Amino acid sequence: MSGQDFISLLPLTVLAATVVLIMLAVSVYRSHILVLLITLAGLTAAAAMLPLAAGSGPRRVTSLLVVDGYALFYTGVILAATFVVAVFSFVYLRKQQGQQEELYLLLLLAALGAAVMAASSHFASLFLGLELLSSSLFILIAYPRGRLNIEAGVKYLILASVSTSVLLFGMAFIYDQTGTMQFSRMAALADANAGVLFTTGLGLLAVGLGFKLALVPFHMWTADVYQGAPAPVTAFVATVSKVGVFALALRFFSQVGIRPQAHLFLMFALIAIASMLAGNLLALTQDNVKRILAYSSIAHLGYLLVAFLASGPLAITAVTFYLSAYTATTLGAFGVVGMTPCRGREADAVEDYRGLFWRRPWLAAIFAAMLFSLAGIPLTAGFIGKFYLLDAGVGSSLWLLVFSLVAGSGISLYYYLRLVVVMYMRPRGASSGEATASCPWAGSLMLTALLAVIFWLGVYPAPLIDMIQKTAALK
């Protein structure tokens, strides 16, 4: 490894160093705010290293990682999202009993795992990143040790292990056929001997990743985990873990190529359609905001698959843009869920939001904007993102997928609007003391910043698109 390699790895190294630093800090002096500040400083420092790493050009660092614009862009998204989640967690946990400091440590570890996945070009680093992410997540989900949390944590643990073993199985098949674990070399060999075993391996790999991304029919854990985990952790699961895994899937499959593998393409298309329709239909019947958002996230990942299957440079920019927009929006939505005051528990029933417009106008307006962005209404990032996905889909003439996307969006309006409607209904009876808790300024600031990002991307997306096209194009 040369000096340049170390510079390329700086964002990851800084992140890892911050984890160690927090561990030491906690053992010396426990302070919630101090740990938060270290976390935020570490994330900022890691983000500051991104231009430096980009300056040394796309580099292959050992055979495990490749640090190119694509990896760095996704790392940037992951770092930013983790920053927001850290602030939300502080706001969420500051009133609770117990020791909160380890949460930040786990958050950073999970973020490190996601960033490693975004940069991995080898099965070993893929597995490393994925395990780092999954095992941190499972503790995070069970964090404040309620009954529901433990249930969700265990559920996640079991399904994550199952999916990991499926993934490993798939890797074994592919290794057996190609004799390599590097994505780039696999691509060269794939054309030559795309036998049944190779396709099976790819299929199993896709299933394993499908579990992580919560695509239908591998989605059963999603709603329970989303509901059980504390709201900031749910935000993390819905954004950072998805971004990391999707970045990896996109890199892997665009190098190996799905198009030539007709069976695989068909499988992905069916998964996409099933996710879009089932996700949206299941969301219709829910009465819990976190479950609604869980099913809607399934549908959104299905939408993403449309562009994913479209392949080509347009598809990669479309997916990257959509993931960025989706991340900002989802963070905002779960941020509101975590900050809505509700008598000592999380406000996750739809009924808890009744009349929020009149009690807490700013919070409600932000939530409404996030929901509109998820629904893809203009002025918000979600609109441009959805347009981009359709752009990619129509460009590759994937008509069936495009129309499923349209149908799915049509259905989704119902449950997004239902939440908006509830917020502006008059409160039923005397609402006892719900309005008292004030929104902490740090949380409000973060939500406002997310709102600004959503509107900025929705009105003038050109800079971000430009940046994605310059940096995140996969060769």
Partner 1 sequence: MILAWLILWLLAGGLLAWFSARWGNAWPRWISLITLLVQLAALTGLWIGFFSHGNLAVAAPGQWLAELNLPWIPAWGARFHLALDGVGLLMILLTSFLGIVAVAASWQGIQHRVGFFHFNLLWILAAIDGVFLAVDLFLFYFFWELMLVPLYFLIGIWGHQNRVYAALKFFIFTQASSLVMLVAILGLYFAHANSSGVYTFDYLGLLGTPMSSFTEMALMLGFFIAFAVKLPVLPLHTWLPDAHTEAPTAGSVALAGLVLKVGAFGMLRFLLPLFPRAASDFSTLAMSLAVAGIIYGALLAFSQTDLKRMVAYTSISHMGFVLLGIFAWNQLALQGAIVIMIAHGVSTGALFVIVGDLQDRIHTRDLDRMGGLWSVMPRLSGAGLLFALASLGLPGLGNFVGEFLVLLGVYQVSIPLAVLASLGFIVSTVYALWLVQRVFLGRNKHHRQLPDYNLRESAIMAVMIVVITALGLYPQPVLSTARGALKKLGSYAPGHHQPEASGAVAHKDPQAGATKPGSGS
C-beta of residue 405 within 8 angstroms of C-beta of residue 276: yes
Q: What 3-state DSSP class applies to 344?
A: coil
- How many residues bind to partner 1 according to rule CB under 8 A? 30
Q: Which one, 349 or 417, has the nearer CB to partner 1? A: 417
Q: 201 to 260, contacts with partner 1 by CB under 8 A?
A: none
Contact with partner 1 (CB under 8 A) among 68, 224, 348, 391: 391
CA atoms within a 13 Å half-sphere pointing along the CA-CB vector of 416: 23
Beta bridge mates, 60: 66
C-beta of residue 32 within 8 angstroms of C-beta of residue 103: no
270's tokens: 């069916």
Q: Where are the beta strands (DSSP E) in 58-160?
A: 59-61, 65-67
Q: Does 148 bind partner 1 (CB under 8 A)?
A: no
440's tokens: 């902490």
Q: Does 472 bind partner 1 (CB under 8 A)?
A: no
Q: Which one, 55 or 313, has the nearer CB to partner 1? A: 313
Whole-number Å distance between alpha carbons of 170 and 122: 14
Sequence-distant (≥ 6) Cβ neighbours of residue 128 within 8 angstroms:
113, 116, 120
C-beta of residue 213 within 8 angstroms of C-beta of residue 308: no
Cα 317 to chain centroid distance, Å, stands at 17
Q: Which one, 278 or 402, has the nearer CB to partner 1? A: 402
Contact with partner 1 (CB under 8 A) among 394, 449, 473, 474: 394
Q: Which one, 170 or 393, has the nearer CB to partner 1? A: 393
Q: 160 to 189, contacts with partner 1 by CB under 8 A?
A: none
What distance, in Å, lies between the first and last C-alpha atoms of the chain?
Answer: 23
Q: 411 to 430, contacts with partner 1 by CB under 8 A?
A: 413-414, 417-418, 421, 424-425
Contact with partner 1 (CB under 8 A) among 124, 274, 465, 473: 465
Smallest separation, CB 378 to partner 1 (Å): 4
Sign, CA torsion 156/159/161/166: negative
Smallest separation, CB 246 to partner 1 (Å): 21
Helix ranges (H only) for 355-440 are 356-359, 361-375, 381-395, 399-424
- Choose one: 67-75, 161-169, 230-238, 398-406; the region binding partner 1 (CB under 8 A): 398-406
Whole-number Å distance between alpha carbons of 78 and 244: 8
Q: Does 313 bind partner 1 (CB under 8 A)?
A: no
Whole-number Å distance between alpha carbons of 341 and 436: 8
Smallest separation, CB 375 to partner 1 (Å): 8
Q: Which one, 227 or 329, has the nearer CB to partner 1? A: 329
Smallest separation, CB 201 to partner 1 (Å): 35
Smallest separation, CB 424 to partner 1 (Å): 5
Contact with partner 1 (CB under 8 A) among 410, 431, 445, 448: 410
- Contacts with partner 1 by CB under 8 A lie at 317, 372, 377-379, 383-384, 387, 390-391, 394-395, 402-403, 406, 409-410, 413-414, 417-418, 421, 424-425, 460-462, 465-466, 469
